A and B are shown apart, each in its own frame.
Chain A
């Protein structure tokens, strides 16, 4: 336990960087602020790699146990219910440390080029440090309350960074939308935490997720509306995770969050924060799998539905970042589904391993895709695909790295996405053929829309560009480093490292599934090639033949309109306006009445204090005479 005490610095360093650059914002030169943030995250990266390597590879034990590296009692609610602040090191947190620190470092370096000359350059790095601190704190949390605190901190820093261009109304609206939607889902998370802690009397993950522990061996008695209290609590916690991970129906905030700077989208809205929901379910996985399998079915269903839903929308998007955003939602759905169909234990936990594996590889190739998109936007100053074309001549580094990431997400061997996606498909095949069919279809759709993006941006017609040039080295070097990750991350023997119960197991390579998934990926790529590589009216013809269906998908199934209808037409009009009337007329009216009465009395009594000495003397004398008369009336003698 003592050997991991240095991990406390993983949290302290970015926090100190945040404080220093935040307090001295405007006093330090922006370059120095950025330097402090980058130095802090670079040290964190070194520490994270050291932690992960010593945990995974320098560990002589047979299986991986969770280690509580540090713990401080923070709040003592009752003698048994204590909120700690601590650090937990186990396979998934060690893996997440590597993911977060790598992507965060790359994004920090990339941002020095991308954000150069922007207003609030120092503020940007301050918020990045805050985010890194919050995200690392989230994955290292030892208990539900701590994870909830960091969960909200992550939400706040996401809000601040989406609204970075605070003079742009759409960015402000997007920031508010992201905050409100995730906050709404977090309400479920909080209720779930309270339910669980009320019945178990503890917040600590080590106690809650212990398979021999009290919670799992004696699940909470009592049912509510046909499901056990345990199921309800876990479904509520999953709702919190669904909000952060943009699962249907909370997915609406993520595409809008693309209003933030592109490196922020890469860090927060592709690689790290949005996987917090997956991480949360993974963290509580033994409870889900052993105590409430019904809750896990909900996870699987939502995951499968979201992955298909988002993939369909991604096909028709024209904004390059929106395509990537819907692709992220779709891939997150993949991870959720893999968790949902997994069992607990070595071989049965294939889905769990696959989900974490996909989380790991997805972080690399999706961050790479977003940073590549940033590089493209930096060059052509537009987000729209119609302003791009034939860019492979102008942006060679961006083109190559983008192609690597696109192949990886499409699942072409031997890139990383192939291995993790294949493992998810294998797990789905074992668990449920219907889910397998859905995910198989989504794999094809993914290959199609990603290559649609690729061909429309890098091939096709040359557009008019002014001063187009490849991005500076500060942007291309992170691209290449992430590309290395996107190529080789798949070769890690994940089933020996990250498993549901800490016991390593061997995965069997499923040739039939691998071949089938490569086949559908190739079909997707070839059809994208046929439609988009050379500009033609073929796609327009297909669009016209689909008619109403295309309109439906193009409007994202009218989800935003539905939310606006519910909030504006129903909640605002009928519920909140009557509450506002009550507040304005009854509550405020009572207060105003008291104030007005006091005012009226004082205005009248004020005349008494005229300042006229003669009046005072007259009143005094009259009063005195009255007293004397009264005295003699009652005492005649």
Chain B
């Protein structure tokens, strides 16, 4: 039944998620929200990988593997980013990105 959905629909869907992420990254000031936005961007890419692998090269598996790889990296990245936020919060009592101006020129 998934075959009934054309590839273009899935690509439009992933594009919507991608730009939602980009929009969130550019407008939000809270760093955790920004991190969530980056996750949206990554997941839009994951959807593209899986869908294109399934529709165009069904006999190969690189797209699937790449998706799993990205999920792993994203988990590690989230751990590092959150550790940074916690430390930042301990120091300046804020995780607003505009407050972090200590090293500006």
Contacts and interface: CB of A to CB of B under 8 A. Distances in A.
A581 B101 CA distance: 47
B59 interface: no
A609 interface: yes
B26 A611 contact: no
Contacts of B34: 613
Contact of B22 (A606, A611, A621): A621
A611 B100 CA distance: 8
B104 A610 contact: yes
Nearest to A614: B26
Interface in B66-105: 97-98, 100-101, 103-105
Interface in A556-614: 606, 609-614
A612 B98 contact: yes
A618 interface: yes
A225 interface: no
Contacts of B25: 617
Given A612-B98, A613-B97, A618 B105 contact: no
Interface in A52-86: none
A43 to B, nearest CB: 68
Contacts of A617: 25-26
Interface in B20-65: 22, 25-27, 34
A612 B97 CA distance: 8
Contacts of B103: 611
Interface residues of A, number: 10
A609 B104 contact: yes
A436 B98 CA distance: 99
Contacts of B26: 614, 617-618, 621
A621 B23 CA distance: 11
Nearest to B27: A614
A14 B17 CA distance: 91
Contacts of B22: 621
Contacts of A612: 98
A613 B34 CA distance: 11
Contacts of B98: 612
A614 B97 contact: yes
A612 B26 CA distance: 11
B97 A609 contact: no
A443 B105 CA distance: 83
Contacts of A613: 34, 97
A617 B26 CA distance: 7
A18 B85 CA distance: 67
Nearest to A608: B105
Nearest to B31: A613
Nearest to A615: B26
A618 B98 CA distance: 15
Contacts of B101: 611
A609 B25 CA distance: 19
A606 B105 CA distance: 8
A345 B100 CA distance: 95
Nearest to B97: A613
Contact of B105 (A611, A614, A621): A611
A135 B68 CA distance: 90
B103 to A, nearest CB: 7
A618 to B, nearest CB: 6
A610 B25 CA distance: 17
Contacts of A611: 100-101, 103-105
Interface in A613-630: 613-614, 617-618, 621
Interface centre among A610, A611, A612 (most CB of B within 10 A): A611
A535 B97 CA distance: 99
Contacts of B105: 606, 609, 611
Contacts of A621: 22, 26
A610 B98 CA distance: 11
A621 B100 CA distance: 22
Nearest to B103: A611
A613 B25 CA distance: 10
B29 to A, nearest CB: 8
Interface string A230-256: 000000000000000000000000000
Interface in A147-184: none
Contacts of A606: 105
A610 to B, nearest CB: 7
A365 B32 CA distance: 99
B84 to A, nearest CB: 13
Nearest to A607: B105
Nearest to B98: A612
A375 to B, nearest CB: 73
B13 to A, nearest CB: 21
A611 B101 CA distance: 6
A49 to B, nearest CB: 76
12 contacts: A606-B105, A609-B104, A609-B105, A611-B101, A611-B103, A611-B105, A613-B34, A613-B97, A614-B26, A617-B25, A621-B22, A621-B26
**Which are the 10 A-B pairs with shortest beta-carbon distances?**
A611-B104, A613-B97, A611-B101, A609-B105, A614-B26, A617-B26, A606-B105, A617-B25, A618-B26, A621-B22
Interface of A: 606, 609-614, 617-618, 621
Interface of B: 22, 25-27, 34, 97-98, 100-101, 103-105
Given A609-B104, A609-B105, A621-B22, 9 more contacts: A606-B105, A610-B104, A611-B103, A611-B104, A611-B105, A613-B34, A613-B97, A614-B26, A617-B25
